Amino acid sequence: MLPSVVPFWSPAEIEAALSGTLAHLQARKVLAYPTETVYGFGGGADHDSVAALVALKHRPEGKPFLLLINGSEMLTRIGLYLPPSASAFAARFWPGPLTLVLPGGDRRVPAELRGADGGIAVRWTPHPAIQRLIKAYGDPITSTSANHPGSPSAMSAASVLADWQPEVAAGRLRVLDGGTLSPSLPSTVVNCIGERPHVVRPGAIATEILRAAVPELEDSFSTEQS
């Protein structure tokens, strides 16, 4: 196994991987890691780390990444806040596969992470290993699917390695191997900017279930976040 592919399954493996993984993040490089849905790419939520992620993923300009957090206090730290509808969603479905587009974060969140409507996409991940990593890092990490544009989402570290071996071999990409994930839809994305929340992307939590918590939720599908 390449040095940049690290076991990240058992509690002992997770703890053993933290030191090198934190150093990789602090060097403004990109991680591949398991989530509750698919494998993701991400890094620090700073300009240089986001630029490295854009370069790796060949992300189109104006299509921001989302942030993963491990607790609501992290929202306060970066200046985001929950409008009433977002509060209802968070209370019912966080941690879980629900991404909320939230207002705030002025001067604390890089502009590259802000959508056209000014919102920042955030998810409180329920994945225990990634929760532990974020806690050790002390800040949110960015997230996008670990695949080439137009290709299926990666469900295993082996799939990431097969598609990105040059980047892994060069040390630009560190892969946290959390095993093969069960088939899953991506997270549902709900925009909570404006008067009425609306679904940006359908996913793991059905719109009907979300609407039971917030009846004014509207359908308005697009591909703004992933």
What pLDDT score does 223 carry?
Answer: 43
What pLDDT score does 17 carry?
Answer: 97
What pLDDT score does 150 carry?
Answer: 85
| Confidence category of residue 222, pLDDT binned at 50, 70, 90 | very low
| Confidence category of residue 225, pLDDT binned at 50, 70, 90 | very low
What pLDDT score does 47 carry?
Answer: 92
Residue 189 contacts residue 203 (beta carbons within 8 Å): yes
Summarize pLDDT for 59-93 with one digit per residue, the tens.
Answer: 877 788 999 999 999 999 999 999 999 999 999 99
Q: Give the residue carrying structure tokens 């929760």.
A: 131
What pLDDT score does 149 carry?
Answer: 85
Query: What is the percent of the chain where pLDDT is above 90?
Result: 81
pLDDT value at 224 more than 90: no
Query: What is the percent of the chain where pLDDT is above 70?
Result: 96
Query: Which residues, 6+ apart, have CB-to-CB distance to 225 below 8 Å?
Result: 63, 64, 66, 99, 101, 115, 121, 189, 200, 201
d(CA 219, CA 4): 41
Mean pLDDT of 28-52: 96
**Taking all residues of the chain, what is their mean pLDDT, rounded to a whole number?**
93
Summarize pLDDT for 8-22 with one digit per residue, the tens.
Answer: 999 999 999 999 999
Summarize pLDDT for 139-190 with one digit per residue, the tens.
Answer: 999 999 999 988 899 999 999 999 999 999 999 999 999 999 998 888 999 9
5-215 topology per CATH: DHBP synthase (3.90.870)
What pLDDT score does 226 carry?
Answer: 44
What pLDDT score does 143 carry?
Answer: 96
Amino acid identity, position 136: A
d(CA 30, CA 42): 6
Mean pLDDT of 125-150: 95
pLDDT value at 126 more than 80: yes
